[in-house]
Chains A and B, each alone.
Chain A
């Protein structure tokens, strides 16, 4: 099941709002029984549960893709390694590109 915040972002985007600040625009809360909308401050109408649920598949797909990006980032060479490889070139750069490719294969996109 996808996060409520992901579904709200998709709903907002479809209604012309490209960015949602979850500390001011929309406040979500979970008191132990699941997340709910505590405060809605966007100019567009607050969505119904039915409207939000219609984004379930899309939200799941987006979160799955973001998880892949997250997993890949954890194993990609770090910035320093990249800079050195670019400056050194040659085998160092080739090896770094091979590591990046191996990480992509390890965590394929859904």
Chain B
């Protein structure tokens, strides 16, 4: 990002120092360096309760009940609907864990959906259908948002090894399962 002002002296992109001239910021403070642009809107939320999944079903994660921050109040009801258009860096992590005794998943998938359709995914799939005791799937991408109707959500998909009614589970906690995004400076 270009520095546009130094000690209250405007600097144009075409400005160059003359021969033997050195520009020195003798009393510059952070405010003198107007980098321009902020990474907002931005939010981060995490699951404050476990969520049991439906076996072999892509399930909306609806337990993002605690917000670490939400600069523009754009995150509500587990959905991020930014009110400014532009490109956003969006990220999520889900911690899959066993639920009842040994009935754990053989396959765990984290997905970010845009406007109800899958945007990007990451998965854990151990060799030869071995079972996952725990797996954290992190996912991130950059996506264009229109600043009005576009929205982002997180879905999970897990396949139970045994096919019993004991469904896999996504564990809660700020360091376990979270969802966030911020506008990138263009």
Q: How large is the interface on B (under 10, 10 to 19, 20 to 34, 35 or more residues)?
A: 20 to 34
In B42-81, which residues have CB < 8 Å from any A CB?
54-60, 62
The SS class assigned to the A binding surface is: helix
Instruction: Judge if A73 is at the interface, Cβ distance under 8 Å.
Output: yes
Instruction: Judge if B164 is at the interface, Cβ distance under 8 Å.
Output: yes
B54→A30 contact, CB < 8 A: yes
Encoded as 1 (CB less than 8 Å from any B CB) or 0, chain A from 59 to 93 comes to: 00011101101110111000000000000000000
Contact of A66 among B54, B155, B162 (CB under 8 A): B162
Alpha-carbon separation in the docked complex, A22 to B157 (Å): 10
Besides the known contacts A66-B163, A67-B103, A71-B103, 13 further A-B residue pairs in the complex with CB atoms under 8 A apart: A6-B55, A22-B56, A30-B58, A31-B116, A35-B59, A64-B165, A67-B164, A67-B165, A70-B100, A70-B102, A71-B102, A73-B102, A73-B162
- Partner-A contacts on B (CB < 8 A): 54-60, 62, 100-103, 107, 109, 116, 155, 157, 159, 161-167
20 CB-based A-B contacts, threshold 8 Å: A2-B165, A3-B54, A5-B55, A5-B57, A6-B163, A23-B109, A28-B54, A29-B58, A29-B155, A30-B58, A35-B54, A66-B163, A67-B103, A70-B102, A70-B103, A70-B161, A70-B162, A71-B101, A73-B162, A74-B101
